[in-house]
Every structure is written in C-alpha cells, then in structure tokens.
C-alpha cells in the first residue's frame, strides 16, 4: 500500500521543511507534495516529528548480542540488522575484523545469502583487515594479520551483490594491489595504519577513497610528518568515518578536522559490537570485552569497537561537536551513501529514491523506521 507522510519536518536537500508531504509507493519515494495534499494512500501523521533519510552505517561488527566474526551467517546478519534498525539504521555493512581466509570466505557467502534472502538493510560487507599494520592493530589479533597479495584480492572481492569495503594499511599494500581491488569493484579505506603522509597519498592516487575511524589506530598529524591523518585531511576525495561517542576522539579534534575538510567529508559510523541492543559484555576472539563508561574495552582497557548506535551518534554530533542537526543527519545518510556509490538510490528524500526513512522526535529519539517502504 502507498503511504503519505504528513505533518512533519522533512529533511529535503539539507533543509528541514514543514511545507511538504512525502508520498511513498512500494519501495520508492513517488513524490514530494504540498503539505495539504491528498492521495490514495495510507496517511502517516508525523505529529511534528522529523522525517529523515534512514541512517547508513558502514562499520557494524555486531548487535543484538551477536558478533559477525563468531557466526558469519545470514541469520547473524539479520539479528544485527534488527538490533540496529531500532536506532534508525536502515542500511549497513556487516563488518568482519581481521580473521583467517576461510572465515572471510564464509562471511562473504553469508552476505550474499542475506541479500538473496532479502534481509532488510544489507548493503554489502566491510572487511576490516587482516591487511593491517601490526603496530596499529588495536584489538585485532596479531596472529590474524597478514600481507595482502593478489590471491587476497581475489578472495575479498568474491561478493556477488552489494558493496565491498576493504580496510587496509596503505603502507603495506602496493598501489598496484589497491588498483586491483578498485578494478574488482571494492571500495578501499585506510585504517590500522602507520603510514607516512607520502605513502597514504600514493594510496589515494591509486584509488583509496576512505579512512576507517579517523584518528584511531593510525599515524597522527605531526609538525614534520603529517602521517595518515594529515593525508586524509589533505585529500579532497577521501571520506572518513568517525566514531562520535566522546571517547574514541575528543570533540575538539573532530571540530578541527571538520573545519579543515567540511562536514561532507565525514560520515558517522558506530563500529558497534554485540552490546548494542544486547547485553553488557561478550567474547571477541578469546578476549572478554565489557562496556565501561559507555565504551567497549578489554581487560587492559584497549578499545574494542563501541557500544554506540547511529541515533546516539547523530545526537552526539549535535551535542558534542556542535553541528547543525541537518548536517549531522546528512553525515548519517547522504555522506555514507555517496561513499558507497549509492547516492542515486539512498541518502535523500526525493522522487525515485529508496523509501528507507527514519522518524525522529525533537530529542532525536527514533520512533519508527522504514526500509524500502516497509515498516
């Protein structure tokens, strides 16, 4: 049945408007109509709430009490997606941290199966490692980290449908291997990296277009060596994911980065673990991880992903960084859609776009979400 969303504040091209209603027909937005329009459709009275494009999270390790690495299956992906949907995420990349090649192959097959089964919101896979710098591995196991080669390129680009995002340390991958990944359809991001500025810039020239959790687990900006961070801030074509929980990165550092590049160069990500929508602790490759003061850490206090959801990331972008609400919403939808090359279908409320939407109160709490027009 068609839906007509009325009486809301609708985010249209960066502006919250009260003079429009939104007509959805099936999986697509059919039209933007005057606020008082009538249509042969079920009316959804937003009662003054916000209607925004659904959130797209490119880094989701787990949720609902399950971890993708533990059980790389379509059922796990469905459970993760269901947990995050409650917080406005209508599109996501299940994320596999560094693991052995057979596990990577199973994870890719699971995403293909999830897409074939119609699991709501699955847009592809994020393979975060194992092609990382052991010096910047963070919570990743050193025993899982390996050198990328042509066989690795073949492995990580097996996905038949959806997008493949690969995080690697650019200093340990030749430009030719990065070019090969891009030629096979992968989106490449730098992360867990000790790259010098010139090494990271060479990777950008070869086709690297992303940075994974900027500032965390990478060489910092220095006065004589700009490092990985400096290369990202000096590369107009790179979009960086940021974890805005007040703990991964100081809000002032994020304000400085956004001032340097502009907000449209940054996308909100959660780096979420199973505790989002499911408990306060879990096991990660033999280590017990607990939520302490709002963050996931091991016994030594090493960060292990986050307990963040996308709605809270949006609230924090407004409250901690001081961004306009419209900007924060775009960083959770339009920017990641553009990063994945999906901007023709996702991330905007406009005729012809996918009807993946989120309804939010004035306090930015999620009331309801729709994925391809389905609640």
Question: 229-239: buried (b, 16+ CB within 10 Å) or exposed (e) per residue?
Answer: bbbbbbbeebb
Q: Is 134 exposed, middle or buried (0-12, 13-18, 19+ CB in 10 A)?
A: middle
Query: What is the C-alpha separation between 97 and 99, in angstroms, rounded?
Result: 6
Residue 183 has which token pair?
A: 């030629």
303 annotated as ligand-binding: yes
Query: What is the C-alpha separation between 61 and 63, in angstroms, rounded?
Result: 7
> Which of the following is catalytic: 57, 271, 307, 372?
271
Pairing mode, strands 357-360 and 366-370: antiparallel
224 annotated as ligand-binding: yes
338 annotated as ligand-binding: no
Helix axes 197-206, 175-183, angle to 10 degrees: 30
271 as an active site residue: the answer is yes
Cα-atom radius of gyration of the chain, to the nearest Å? 20
332 annotated as ligand-binding: no
330 annotated as ligand-binding: no
133 annotated as ligand-binding: no
Residue 9 has which token pair?
A: 């504040």
Query: What is the C-alpha separation between 330 and 14, in angstroms, rounded?
Result: 7
- Report whether 137 contacts 97 (CB < 8 A): no
216 annotated as ligand-binding: yes
Query: What is the C-alpha separation between 163 and 204, in angstroms, rounded?
Result: 19
Query: What is the C-alpha separation between 92 and 103, in angstroms, rounded?
Result: 20
Element (H, E) at 84: helix 74-85
128 annotated as ligand-binding: yes
Which sign, positive or negative, has the C-alpha torsion 152, 155, 157, 163? Answer: negative
213 annotated as ligand-binding: yes
- Cis peptide bond N-terminal to 340, omega within 30: no
Residues at the binding site are 128, 139, 192, 213, 216-217, 224, 248, 303-305
Residues at the binding site for Zn(2+) are 128, 192, 213
Q: Which amino acids are annotated catalytic?
A: 271
Residues at the binding site for substrate are 139, 216-217, 224, 248, 303-305
């Amino acid at each position: 049945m068609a839906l007509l969303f009325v009486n809301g504040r609708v985010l249209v091209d960066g502006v919250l408007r009260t003079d429009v209603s939104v007509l959805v027909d099936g999986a697509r937005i059919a039209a933007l109509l005057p606020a008082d329009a009538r249509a042969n459709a079920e009316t959804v009275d937003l009662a003054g709430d916000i209607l925004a494009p659904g959130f797209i999270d490119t880094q989701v390790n787990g949720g609902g009490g399950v971890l993708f690495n533990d059980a790389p299956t379509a059922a796990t992906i469905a459970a993760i997606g269901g947990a995050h949907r409650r917080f406005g995420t209508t599109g996501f990349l299940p994320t596999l941290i560094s693991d052995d090649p057979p596990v990577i192959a199973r994870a890719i097959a699971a995403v293909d199966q999830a897409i074939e089964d119609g699991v709501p919101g699955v847009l592809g896979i994020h393979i975060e490692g194992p092609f990382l710098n052991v010096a910047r591995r963070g919570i990743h196991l050193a025993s899982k980290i390996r050198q990328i080669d042509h066989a690795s390129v073949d492995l990580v680009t097996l996905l038949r449908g959806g997008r493949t995002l690969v995080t690697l340390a650019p200093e340990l991958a030749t430009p030719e291997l990065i070019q090969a990944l891009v030629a096979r359809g992968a989106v490449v991001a730098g992360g867990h990296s000790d790259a010098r500025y010139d090494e990271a810039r060479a990777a950008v020239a070869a086709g690297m277009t992303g940075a994974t959790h900027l500032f965390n687990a990478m060489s910092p900006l220095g006065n004589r060596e700009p490092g990985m961070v400096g290369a990202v801030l000096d590369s107009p074509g790179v979009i960086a994911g940021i974890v805005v929980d007040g703990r991964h990165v100081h809000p002032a550092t994020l304000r400085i980065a956004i001032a340097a590049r502009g907000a449209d160069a940054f996308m909100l990500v959660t780096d979420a673990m199973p505790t989002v929508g499911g408990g306060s602790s879990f096991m990660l490759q033999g280590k017990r991880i607990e939520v302490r003061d709002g963050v996931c850490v091991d016994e030594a206090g090493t960060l292990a992903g986050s307990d963040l959801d996308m709605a809270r990331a949006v609230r924090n972008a407004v409250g901690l960084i001081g961004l306009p609400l419209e900007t924060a919403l775009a960083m959770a939808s339009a920017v990641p859609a553009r990063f994945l090359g999906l901007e023709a279908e996702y991330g905007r409320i406009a005729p012809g776009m996918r009807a993946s939407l989120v309804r939010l109160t004035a306090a930015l709490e999620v009331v309801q979400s729709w994925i391809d027009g389905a609640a």
